């Protein structure tokens, strides 16, 4: 079986009916990037930038971040690399952030909320990302979005960064900016959000947690967790339709994206991209190529 999968390396991610899917990998550090390449992923669909912050005892500087993003961009050699901005909170504790313990960290002070509150931290990351974009094909993705206002604020900040870099004569690439759809609020207003961004990537891990009101960290609830729940599937379809109506692309980067019993469903829904753990790239490729 492993040998059969190996023969799929270098093959296209196209269905029997001719629909092309962008099959990317989710990574959490540089060594994952190598694994993604070894498994022939066509790009990085989710680079979780948290590790940069978690492994340090200080805020990673612009230069430290720039070096990492640049390395990833260069390693992927022109293939798409979607880097997600910081997604921490009271569940992933980092001492130097001084975040107070919370009753409900999953619904707490986290991710984009911290970034919009702590603009200094956010801008440092954005500057590093834009500078690195001169060395490859970098896109930026924002987590835990719930409103159009947040997206407008983010765009204002990133436009400011581009102006700063231009004024200083520092070059940067043509960066796509997208958002994660991982709250029911974002899914339900995806028609409005789609007008503001270049792409959607659906985070089914959090979207399921919030939609089903099932804590993803509590194994005791596994018996109640149904990832194929029609509420989730309806939201996915809604998000795909709203993306396409606005002319942007849409994909899935949560674990569900690698569920090969749903690959055909995702393709029928119109998903343009699936981003899965590196080990799942070839199994999903096989499934895509068998699908009519």
Exactly one of 253, 271, 274, 276 is catalytic; name it.
253
Q: Where are the alpha helices (DSSP H) in 27-90?
A: 30-38, 50-54, 62-75
Q: Which residue is nearest to Mg ion (CB)?
A: 206
In the complex with Mg ion, the residue whose CB is nearer, 42 or 141, is: 141
Question: Closest approach of Cβ 20 to Mg ion, in Å?
Answer: 26
In the complex with Mg ion, the residue whose CB is nearer, 83 or 288, is: 83
How many other C-beta atoms lie within 10 A of the C-beta of residue 17? Answer: 8
Query: Is 234 annotated as ligand-binding?
Result: no
Q: Counting contacts by CB under 6 A, is residue 206 touching ligand PEP?
A: yes
The DSSP code for 9 is T
Q: Counting contacts by CB under 6 A, is residue 32 touching ligand PEP?
A: no
The DSSP code for 43 is E
**DSSP states of 87-155:** ---SSS--GGG-PPP-S-GGGSS-HHHHHHH-HHHHHHHHHHHHHHGGGSEEEEEE-S---HHHHHHHH
What is the size of the binding site for ligand PEP (CB under 6 A)?
10
**DSSP states of 167-222:** HTT------EEEEEE-SHHHHHTHHHHTTT-SEEEE-HHHHHHHHHT--TT-GGGG
Question: Closest approach of Cβ 19 to ligand PEP, in Å?
Answer: 23
Binding residues among 163-182 for Mg ion as defined by CB under 5 A: 182
Phi, psi of 135 (to 5 degrees): -110, 10
Please select the residue that binds ligand PEP; options are 45, 203, 251, 278, rule is CB under 6 A. Answer: 203
H or E element: which one contains 84?
strand 80-84
SS3 46: strand
Residue that has been written with the tokens 């231009």 in this structure: 166
Stretch that binds ligand PEP, among 58-66, 126-134, 197-205, 221-229 (CB under 6 A): 197-205
Binding residues among 242-261 for ligand PEP as defined by CB under 6 A: 253-254
Q: Counting contacts by CB under 6 A, is residue 80 touching ligand PEP?
A: no
Stretch that binds Mg ion, among 23-31, 33-41, 126-134, 200-208 (CB under 5 A): 200-208
Residue 115 catalytic?
Answer: no
Please select the residue that binds ligand PEP; options are 205, 225, 233, 283, rule is CB under 6 A. Answer: 205
In the complex with ligand PEP, the residue whose CB is nearer, 204 or 291, is: 204
Catalogue the active-site residues: 253
Residue list, annotated binding site: 48, 84, 182, 205-206, 216
């Amino acid at each position: 079986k492993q040998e059969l999968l190996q023969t799929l390396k270098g093959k296209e991610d196209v269905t029997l009916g001719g629909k092309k899917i962008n099959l990317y990998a989710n990574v959490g550090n540089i060594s994952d990037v190598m694994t993604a390449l070894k498994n022939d992923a066509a790009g990085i669909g989710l680079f979780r930038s948290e590790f940069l912050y978690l492994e340090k005892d200080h805020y990673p500087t612009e230069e430290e971040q720039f070096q990492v993003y640049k390395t990833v961009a260069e390693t992927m050699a022109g293939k798409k690399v979607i880097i997600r901005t910081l997604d921490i909170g009271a569940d992933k504790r980092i001492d130097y952030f001084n975040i107070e313990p919370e009753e409900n960290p999953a619904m707490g002070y986290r991710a984009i909320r911290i970034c919009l509150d702590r603009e200094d931290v956010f801008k440092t990351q954005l500057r590093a990302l834009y500078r690195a974009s001169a060395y490859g094909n970098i896109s930026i993705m924002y987590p835990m979005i719930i409103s159009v206002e947040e997206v407008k604020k983010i765009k204002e900040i990133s436009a400011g960064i581009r102006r700063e870099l231009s004024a200083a004569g520092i070059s940067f690439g043509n960066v796509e900016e997208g958002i994660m759809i991982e709250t029911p609020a974002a899914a339900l207003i995806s028609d409005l959000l789609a007008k503001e961004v270049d792409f959607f990537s659906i985070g089914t891990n959090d979207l399921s947690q919030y939609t089903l009101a099932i804590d993803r960290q509590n194994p005791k609830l596994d018996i109640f967790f149904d990832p194929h729940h029609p509420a989730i599937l309806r939201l996915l379809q809604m998000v795909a339709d709203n993306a396409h109506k606005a002319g942007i692309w849409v994909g899935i980067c949560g674990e569900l994206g690698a569920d090969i019993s749903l690959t055909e469903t995702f393709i029928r829904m119109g998903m343009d991209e699936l981003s899965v753990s590196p080990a799942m790239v070839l199994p999903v490729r096989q499934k895509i190529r068998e699908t009519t």
